[in-house]
Amino acid sequence: MTSPGSRWSDLDRPPLSARALRPAMIWPEGLWTQLEIVESTGSTNADLAEAARAGRASAGTVLVAEEQTSGRGRLGRGWSAPPRSGLFFSVLLQPEPEVTTERLSWLPLLAGVATATAVARAGGVDTALKWPNDLLVTVEGEERKCGGILAERTGHGTVVLGIGVNVSLRADELPVPHAGSLLLAGAVSTDRDPLLRAVLRSLAEWYTRWLAACGDPAASGVLDAYVAGCATLDRPVRAELPGGGELRGTATALDGEGRLVVRAADGTRHPLAAADIVHLRTT
């Protein structure tokens, strides 16, 4: 019999195995160099950033948590879920000096492409991207957020990239009504092991291609892939701007820095580097 605190207390949510994942994801010429799984932590991004600054983590490190108690999304929002109900991990990358500072803004968009592609293939569920870094699935005919990405520069040319995906959350476990999960979207599999492998492999492929193109979004294919999978483009939106205020218009394009270009009612175009985007219904 398992105790309530046991890692096997929920048999529908078995723990990940670092021993099984390491040989599958780490090899001499590969991007990933170290993989660690912890039972619980406040934030994998915060932990990995601290380790990087202290010289205890190098590029290629992957830190996975079975549970995050203080996970953060964009604009300081919390990100929490039951233990072993999702993928909660961060990776340490070193895109500089190959990629210029102006092109670093494409990294979270690249991660969105990689994650959406991997989840669609391994989970068998349709996915879409909401600018700049939300992963969307369809639950009962409605768009729901089931994942998010957060990139943070840590100095010395390194970036911590955090990815969170709700995998097996049930309806009564959702943090907010408009959230979703792969389970609720009808995924053919909610086994986190192959899902994590798929995301890490996809991320390595896209990142390596982007790095080889010196961060050029067009030459690397990131721009076309993001545009093809983005649910924000060509639809009316409300942009809630940092510091207050909002902008309404139509999301028309991404510019060379990955900013969302919104055309207002008067025809003026506004490139947005940061905003909370709300998809509006067409009437």
Number of folded domains that form the chain: 2
Q: State whether 243 and 131 are in the same domain.
A: no
CATH code, domain carrying 265:
2.30.30.100
- Token readout for 218 is 């067009």
Q: State whether 191 and 244 are in the same domain.
A: no
| Within a domain: 13 | no
Strands 235-240 and 158-166, sheet pairing = unpaired
Q: State whether 108 and 178 are in the same domain.
A: yes
For each successive 10 residues of the chain (283 residues), what is the average pLDDT?
47 92 96 98 96 96 94 56 95 96 96 98 97 96 96 93 97 92 97 98 98 98 98 98 95 97 98 96 76
Sign, Cα dihedral of 164, 170, 176, 181: positive
User: What pLDDT score was predicted for residue 3?
Assistant: 43
Q: State whether 93 and 221 are in the same domain.
A: yes
User: Residue 170 belongs to what domain range?
Assistant: 18-228
User: What pLDDT score was predicted for residue 70?
Assistant: 74
Q: State whether 237 and 148 are in the same domain.
A: no
Q: State whether 39 and 131 are in the same domain.
A: yes
CATH code, domain carrying 155:
3.30.930.10
* 3-state per-residue secondary structure call for 228-263: HHECCCCEEEEEECCCCCEEEEEEEEECCCCCEEEE
Q: Which residues pair with 152 in a beta bridge?
A: 160
User: What pLDDT score was predicted for residue 155?
Assistant: 85
User: What pLDDT score was predicted for residue 265?
Assistant: 96
